Amino acid sequence: MGITQENIFDVDEAGFDQGVIHASSDTAIVVDFWAEWCPPCRALTPVLEKIAQQQTDQIKLAKVEVDDNMHLAGRYGLRGFPTVIVFIDGEERGRFSGFKPEAEVKDFLADLGAIN
């Protein structure tokens, strides 16, 4: 997808604990579990990327392609896609599934204390 933002990155099973769990002690990590075949995933990704680009000092966006990382989907009991999980201080703080418009995503992140 041509990600060039430092705070937007792809992550897989091998790098998940380091790139997400441990890294969330410094910055809130928003994890987008998505699949290429999923239209709501393709609609949500640009919304998440836009918010991450606007909030570079507060959050990082980690993108997990679920077809290549099924163990992670199982680890977190994901039943539908897209699913977004927010990690802060090494712990899951909240999640939602399905498409949400930008304002709702921002409200969700603000309620968790991930953004102001």
Instruction: Indicate which residues carry an active-site annotation.
Output: 38, 41
Contacts of 48 (CB under 8 A, 6+ apart): 30, 32, 61, 84, 105
Q: Which helix (H) or strand (E) holds 32?
A: strand 28-34
Nearest one of 103, 56, 63 to 84, comparing CA atoms: 63
